[in-house]
Structure 1
């Protein structure tokens, strides 16, 4: 029988696989995207752009956050998935609705239960004290999610940085393109195919994830 930690780690691994597959597919779908271009993304993008180590600021702040809120890594992982699935990893899901008309991406029905926005704000505040106006929120979200996974016991993986934040929110796209928990299989396959997944890969991914989530539920609730 799986241990609680083993089941949780397996779920995290599946999500990491999905994230990297989605990122590569997004590059093929939208090579001219402002948020994600091969010419601008690189490792340690901010190493000579800030007096302090940007990635160390993210790590130390995430460490404090996880001590206060143990489920922060899961919240950020879901937030990152919803951001990247619509238009690439551009922080468009973070944009607030100043007009209060509910037309921004984060107010779309699939995004209304998202959490973790406050964690990105906390990290952004720390970074702004060191180098104002330099680090994008999209990079902060990607780095914070990676560090959250590590702090939750997951593996380290390198992260490319140098993204630019979107100034546009995609409410309609979020409503139409983010898979729904109660969506039918044909629609789910169609949405994943837009991100480069074929039918076999989508079924395998969702099937494995369903089994693993069930195991986590049993480990956490019944044992």
Structure 2
């Protein structure tokens, strides 16, 4: 069949597109990624998370937060796990993570078992994603599938955590912009904020709302007065008080439910970044919806976590599969 010069060019272009699409498709994350290379991978991670949470329920929140903090800095590449060196302060030692973020030993334990079971197959980034899902399920949340195939990054810089992770002082516009920069919508931001239904916070993360809000108010007027009084008892305005911890959801701090949203409806959001979700009619409507629909929230949370888990992933021949999640290969 004769195509002519123009036809040959079009055919070549179509073939290139096809090959490009095939390459992209081959390197996408997908369910059951370790089905043949390490079929016990997800079970091993679940077992380690289950043992840890049974001993300390608070670690479940750390694992969810770890995945979020990993994905928002350089993408979901396990860079949150890398230890600092004399020449570099890593993400885990940046103020948003140190000293409040725990649970790294859970990832270490899972990785050690996985290396014994199927050496060099399961990435640290995938372990973090699996562990976050398992933490949600073990605290009463709905199971969601986690596509895998992430590779591990080789760079971790503390300053990048400071510039990429939204602080608890952010207002609605700042939060919306922060999530939009990662490809997440405002609705997804509101859904992912629901993770604050489990876990604890240091008083220093919100004490300004109690004692030094702004020039007009010493106490944040959007904070329920009775709740503020309770928090002041638990978080005295002292240096030692700043290090105390309180539950982010006093109603059910170890249960992945919708009471986080119920708290916002009565001005009992712990952080400015929580209560700000009630600052517009549109976002307040989403809060009401989530508070009233447990199943709907759980389904949307799983969907949002899957989308977040694809931010900036390394796949195919990019990055590496770390032997030790704390150390880049070649520096063990």
- Would you call these one fold, judging by a TM-score over 0.5? yes
Q: Name the counterpart of 2:73.
A: 86
Deviation at 1:102, TM superposition (A): 5.2
Q: Name the counterpart of 1:47.
A: 35
Q: 1:63 to 1:166 in 2, by over 3 A?
A: same
Deviations 1:59-99 (A, max 9, x none): 22222222222222111001111001112211011110122
Q: Distance in 2 between matches of 1:65 and 1:203?
A: 28
Q: What is the SS of the residue equivalent to 2:96?
A: helix
Q: Name the counterpart of 2:92.
A: 106
Q: Name the counterpart of 1:134.
A: 121
Choose the corresponding residue for 1:59, options 37, 43, 46: 46
RMSD in angstroms over aligned alpha carbons? 2.9
| Ranges in structure 2 where 5+ consecutive residues have no aligned partner | 1-23, 199-226, 228-247, 254-332
Q: Name the counterpart of 2:133.
A: 146
Q: Is the 8 A contact 2:64 2:195 kept in 1?
A: no
Q: 1:202 to 1:134 in 2, by over 3 A?
A: closer
The structure that is helix-richer by fraction is 1
Q: 1:197 to 1:62 in 2, by over 3 A?
A: closer
Greater relative CO (CA pairs within 8 A, separation 6+): 1
Structure 2 length-normalised TM = 0.48
Q: 1:186 to 1:133 in 2, by over 3 A?
A: same
Deviation at 1:40, TM superposition (A): 3.6
Q: Name the counterpart of 2:169.
A: 182
Q: 1:65 to 1:191 in 2, by over 3 A?
A: same
Q: What is the SS of the residue equivalent to 1:109?
A: coil
Aligned length: 181
Q: 1:107 to 1:37 in 2, by over 3 A?
A: farther
Runs of 4+ in structure 1 deviating by more than 4 angstroms, as ranges, are 202-206, 208-215
| Ranges in structure 1 where 5+ consecutive residues have no aligned partner | 1-35
